[in-house]
Amino acid sequence: MLRTENLGKTYATGDEALKDVSVEIGGREVVAMIGPSGAGKSTFVRCINRLTEPTAGTVTLDGTELTALGKKELRNARRDIGMVFQEYNLVERLTVMENVLSGRLGYVSTWKAFRRNFSQKDVQRAYDLLELVGLDDMENKRVDELSGGQRQRVGIARAVIQEPKIILADEPTSSLDPETSRDVMRLLTDIAVDRNIPVLINIHEVHLAEQYADRILGLHDGNLVFDGRTAELTGDAKDVIYRDEGMPEAPAAETAADTASTTDKPTDPVPVEE
């Protein structure tokens, strides 16, 4: 269970990015955080694992108060938090397999990490995850040879191999085309269900949040202004979240695809991207 209580972030400029945000996320739910640009969505996600240091409030994961940990303790605690980044955050000169296995670095000694000496169990787990994300037989490719969608799948596999207690995804679809974005969202939701891991996704595309998330968090100007099931995200609720900012609209082709789909989260296998 992830719990934030009165989480706040004020920058040195005096700008308040977050204001007393309190939420609980657990089980295997997929939670999408939406809101206009500058609402504090990325700041919230990054404050959870202290890539950005909060200035107020607490973050607790399964009874461990992350905001109270020193550097060494925080390093160990971060093994329990899988992170999927907007710009992938991969080592492009390394292979797909090496990037996935980097998710196990927190579990091996410094010497083994330097030599990239991982156990056979970890290697087999990496092969299994590459098959799961649709990248089997690509383990020896360098990451800089992959498409954006394939790189994002490597990032997801790297997060899952940590065996985390929660996965945080910071705008995982913002650099992808509509079809690949749906593939990535489907993959994240399937992982949440199959592995019983809650997933928190900071996402700009509201239509994808509505299609794939179980629950929606709405931020506006650093304030949590909506917290409810996806079906409760009415037009009035969207107006509260976006107000004068204007809600981003789905591309026409994407809208048609969403209309044709069911309201249930898809469970069909993720196709391999050509």
Q: pLDDT tens digit string along 65-99? A: 999 999 999 999 999 999 999 888 999 999 999 99
Domains in the chain with CATH codes: 2-251 (3.40.50.300)
Rg of the chain, C-alpha, whole Å: 18
Q: Which tens digits make up the pLDDT trace of 193-241?
A: 999 999 999 999 999 999 999 999 999 999 999 999 999 999 999 999 9
Q: Which tens digits make up the pLDDT trace of 31-72?
A: 999 999 999 999 999 999 999 999 999 999 999 999 999 999
Nearest 5°: the CA angle 200, 27, 160 is 55
Q: Which tens digits make up the pLDDT trace of 241-268?
A: 998 776 776 665 555 455 444 444 444 4
CB-CB contact of 203 with 45 (8 Å): no
pTM value is 0.87
Quote the DSSP letter at residue 181: H
d(C-alpha 205, C-alpha 75), whole Å:
32
- Give the pLDDT confidence score for residue 113 in this predicted structure: 52
**224: β partners:** 219
- Give the pLDDT confidence score for residue 107 in this predicted structure: 77
Q: Which helix (H) or strand (E) holds 20?
A: strand 16-25
- Give the pLDDT confidence score for residue 106 in this predicted structure: 80
